[in-house]
């Protein structure tokens, strides 16, 4: 297949690009490199460095021959920041995402995969969270992704653009072969932050809340390995040959903040200094995915089902890249 991947130089996007390249697809990455890294990509993949808002650049790429599909990862993704800059998130995520869908329709692209989010569900009343759980975004970030999902619904209904909305829970880990990993600046994800504390790259970890109704009082989240997410995208590309679909993607198992700290300590053999802090507003106690639908419809099954195994891949990548991309040890 010939595929365009927006935001393909980012954390999740780059792992999907490697998976597509590994199976022989022709992949072009469209990325402004504000969050992504050229070093995260296979050397044979063409990179178009441009803004999604640059309509001329986007039209030039989409007009360059036939495309079998577009995979869309380019987005702002910080929930807290979206609460401070709601209209910026609506414009950047929803506005540009909808313009991308429109461009795909104009250029005859037949398939579209959206990197969506579990933030659509806010504070759900029951677990696990399935595709039938009531949608109630708890942030402008979640709302912006919902707006793109709705635009895709109408693009299919009116123009026949087949799509898959893949609602991730907590992407984690790194490519087992060490080709791509997690390098956000600043880093915001829990596992790499805890690894940094274990390696002495930050003084401590702040744990927000120890009085939640969970076994140890700290928040529980569903961590799904990024390579498993990549395989889900391949499965979704095949699935939408017969019609559009929406799936929740997670491991189906919850781990608390303290569970993750202990896992990093086990895998690294080093203590993790941490300090308890008051709860942060808006943090749900538990978020765990129910991924039965994608399993039954595509046969997708996560290969990384043990938290220590997920952590081990993240730790190995960080030890090989103590300063991130371009700074290998």
Task: Kindly list the catalytic residues.
Answer: 141
- For residue 93, how far is the Cα from the chain centroid? 14
Instruction: Describe the crossing of helices 190-198 and 307-320 by its angle, rounded to 10 degrees.
Output: 60
26-31 vs 2-6, strand pairing mode: parallel
Nearest-CA neighbor of 325 among 8, 4, 10? 10
Write the burial class of residue 284 (CB in 10 Å: 0-12 exposed, 13-18 middle, 19+ buried). Answer: middle
Residues 6 or more apart whose CB falls under 8 angstroms from that of 60 comprise: none
Q: Rounded CA gap, 323 and 325, in Å? A: 7
Q: Rounded CA gap, 254 and 219, in Å? A: 9
Structure tokens at 204: 């401590």
Structure tokens at 119: 């933030």
- How close are the terminal C-alpha atoms of the chain, in Å? 36
Structure tokens at 163: 């799509």
| Phi, psi (degrees; rounded to nearest 5) at 206 | -95, 125
- Report whether 173 contacts 227 (CB < 8 A): yes
């Amino acid at each position: 297949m010939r595929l365009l991947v927006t935001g393909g130089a980012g954390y999740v996007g780059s792992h999907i690009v490697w998976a597509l390249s590994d199976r022989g697809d022709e992949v072009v990455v469209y990325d402004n490199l504000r969050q992504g890294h050229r070093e995260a990509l296979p050397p044979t993949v063409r990179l178009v460095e441009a803004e999604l808002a640059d309509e001329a650049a986007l039209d030039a790429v989409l007009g360059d021959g036939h495309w079998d599909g577009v995979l869309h990862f380019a987005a702002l993704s910080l929930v807290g920041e979206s609460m401070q800059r709601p209209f910026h998130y609506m414009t950047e995520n929803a506005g540009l995402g909808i313009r991308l869908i429109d461009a795909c329709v104009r250029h005859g692209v037949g398939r579209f995969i959206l990197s969506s989010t579990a933030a659509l569900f806010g504070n759900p009343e029951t677990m696990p969270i399935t595709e039938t759980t009531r949608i109630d975004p708890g942030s402008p970030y979640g709302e912006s992704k919902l707006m793109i999902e709705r635009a895709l619904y109408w693009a299919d209904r009116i123009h026949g653009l087949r799509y898959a909305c893949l609602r991730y829970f907590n992407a984690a880990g790194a490519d087992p072969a060490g080709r791509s990993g997690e390098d956000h600046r600043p880093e915001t994800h829990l596992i790499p932050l805890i690894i940094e504390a274990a390696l002495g790259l930050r003084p401590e970890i702040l744990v927000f809340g120890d009085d939640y109704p969970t076994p140890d009082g700290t928040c529980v989240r569903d961590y799904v390995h990024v390579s498993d997410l990549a395989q889900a995208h391949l499965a979704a590309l095949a699935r939408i040959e017969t019609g559009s679909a929406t799936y929740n993607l997670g491991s189906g198992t919850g781990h608390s903040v303290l569970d993750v700290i202990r896992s990093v300590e086990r895998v690294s053999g080093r203590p993790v200094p941490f300090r308890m802090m008051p709860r942060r507003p808006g943090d749900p106690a538990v978020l765990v995915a129910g991924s039965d639908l994608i399993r039954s419809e595509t046969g997708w099954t996560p290969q990384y089902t043990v938290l220590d195994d997920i952590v081990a891949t993240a730790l190995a990548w960080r030890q090989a890249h103590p300063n991130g991309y371009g700074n290998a040890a």
